[in-house]
Amino acid sequence: MALSQGLHQKLLQKLSPQQIQLMKLLQVPTAYLEERIKEELEENPALEQGADSDYADEYKEDFEVTGDQETEPDGSEDDYNHADISEYFTDSDDDVADYRTRDEGYHPTDDQPAIPIKSESSFHDLLIQQLAMLNLDNRQQIIAEQIVGSIDDDGYLTRDVSAIVNDLAFLQNIDSDDAEVEGLIEMIQQFEPHGICARNLQECLLIQLRLKSRKRPTKILNAAIAIIDRYFEEFGRRHFEKIQKSLDLNAEEIRSAVQHITKLNPKPGGTVSADLKKESYVVPDFFILNNNGLLELTLNNKNAPDLKISDDYKEMLMQYEKGSKKDKRQKEAVLFIKQKIDAAKWFIDAIKQRQNTLLLTMNAIMDYQQSFFLSGDEMLLKPMILKDVAERTFLDISTVSRVANSKFVQTEFGTYRLKYFFSESLSKEGGEEVSTREVKKILTDLIAAEEKHNPLSDDQLTEILKGKGYHIARRTVAKYREQLNIPVARLRKVF
């Protein structure tokens, strides 16, 4: 088919750069809003911190002037908005400044993440540092680094030895073999945290147990090693009686060996990655105070920074407007100043709109869950979804979702994520609508009070819930239990 050109009319709905920036600001939590504002202050010299007195005088009436007197501009918001700079906006020049082709509110880092990335050491950096203690030659160092690069964040070796050999041949031009790579793997397995560079969970646990036994060998540690080495499948199924008979252990010995195994770390790399990260504190976006039965909602003052348009930039714009020389150099200067002032004005308005949207959404959530905020009783939480809040606030569901994402509210009973208050509904025996969080709370209490030697199965939990008026299927009980990160009854059994 031959290529051809043609003109077509299409009606499309696209988001403006200002709308995109507003959505990004809306989902930024308070903890990172200050960083976002600092970025804008560094990039836009027309934006400054501090209260803007011009907004207070915005609606004052201008004094009347008679005769040939002229009103002296004072650099207010109204003055620079009405400055006549039309002579600068001509199409006679072929060389158009780069910033003139941009949309208002243009932000040069639209494609970059709004939240700054913290500088921190990684788990793999820790392993590379320990390689320096092995006194390896250049060839072994390259092979060892290739092995470390194949370890995932949990500490497991994700590549087969043969695959690592091939990677070294094609990527590093090093001719190695399985034995050489295996030897370096055994060296890396001695690194901290203990258990890293294992191919599977069984090997991970064996590495940790053997390192412990090497320091202080005991009969219990030898029994634990035998359990993982020879009866790993039976241990996973918790067939302790069978293991006890096979290893000729008494009840106390098998119990101690199992306790040693359960204290091991199944994800050694994950723990280190968490420890290496900087401590982060929850910064609440909202505060709710119970004032004698009346709930009072306030916004964190970090969500409402004082920003203003630079007085110097306003004055420069007015000076150019009064000037008589309108050459190309002045034209580009005026266009630059106007673009920066407009971008600063838009950013200030976007911050204010963000504050209003946050308060509007949180106020609807507070009214909906008033019983909880007054008492702190989780059982009083009503079923609520994003659509319920959207209908009360007349906002789009996506806007409500952005507000609820990564936001926290501080109450007298603790600090909660906004997502904590959203849950689906469930009908009780009498037709009453209750939150699924209420059922999860009952499940948690039932499992916490169960007999550890004979834990409740999902079928038994279903029957107990039915007796309390909650008619739900067994698979639903299993789903809620998994959402609560509670294992099945067989794995909850204590020997």
Instruction: Mark whether 266 and 318 lie in a shared domain.
Output: no
User: What is the pLDDT, as a whole number, of residue 365?
Assistant: 93
Q: What is the pLDDT of residue 289?
A: 92
Say if residue 356 is in the same domain as residue 290.
yes
- The answer to whether residue 227 sits within a structural domain is yes
Residues 6+ positions from 283 with CB-CB distance below 8 Å: 29, 30, 31, 300, 302, 408
Same domain, 488 and 384: no
Q: CA separation (Å) from 256 to 74, 97, 244, 365, 400? A: 83, 77, 12, 50, 52
- The sign of the dihedral angle between the CA atoms of 108, 110, 115, 116 is negative
| 120 found inside a domain | no
Question: How far is the C-alpha of 281 from the C-alpha of 32, rounded, in Å?
Answer: 12
315 close to 337: Cβ distance less than 8 angstroms = no
Task: Give pLDDT tens digits for 193-205.
Answer: 888 888 898 899 9
| Kind and range of the H or E run holding 216 | none
**Does the predicted model carry a pTM greater than 0.85?**
no
User: Do 234 and 305 fall within a single domain?
Assistant: no
Q: Please give the pLDDT value at position 103.
A: 44
Domain boundary among 375, 400, 421: 421
Domain boundary among 256, 277, 298: 277
Does one domain contain both 312 and 407? yes
For 41, the token pair is 């202050």
Which residues in the chain come in under a pLDDT of 50? 55-76, 79-80, 82-119, 276-279
Q: What local confidence, expressed as pLDDT, does residue 65 receive?
A: 33
Query: What token pair was written down for 183?
Result: 């030897």
Given 421, 443, 475, which residue is the final one in a domain? 421
pLDDT score recorded for residue 118: 46
Residues 6+ apart with CB under 8 A from 302: 30, 33, 34, 283
Shortest CA distance to 247 belongs to which of 220, 273, 267? 220
The structural domain count of the chain equals 3
Task: Let me know whether 375 and 309 are in one domain.
Answer: yes
Q: Is residue 180 part of a domain?
A: no
Phi, psi of 487 (to 5 degrees): -70, 170
Q: Are residues 363 and 269 in the same domain?
A: no
Q: Are residues 378 and 299 in the same domain?
A: yes
- Rounded to an integer, what distance in angstroms lies between the CA atom of residue 410 and that of residue 28? 18
Is there a single domain that holds both residue 299 and residue 382?
yes
250 and 294, same domain (yes or no): no
CATH of the domain at 482: 1.10.10.60
296 within a domain of the structure (yes/no): yes
Same domain for 372 and 310?
Answer: yes
C-alpha 369/C-alpha 384 separation (Å) is: 9
Residue 402 within a domain: yes
Asked if the structure places residue 28 within a domain, the reply is no
Q: Are residues 301 and 406 in the same domain?
A: yes
**What pLDDT shows up at residue 324?**
57
Q: Are 288 and 409 in contact (CB under 8 A)?
A: yes
The end-to-end CA distance of the chain, in Å, is 74
Tell me how far apart the alpha carbons of residues 243 and 247 are, in angstroms, rounded to a whole number: 6
Q: Which domain holds residue 362?
A: 286-421
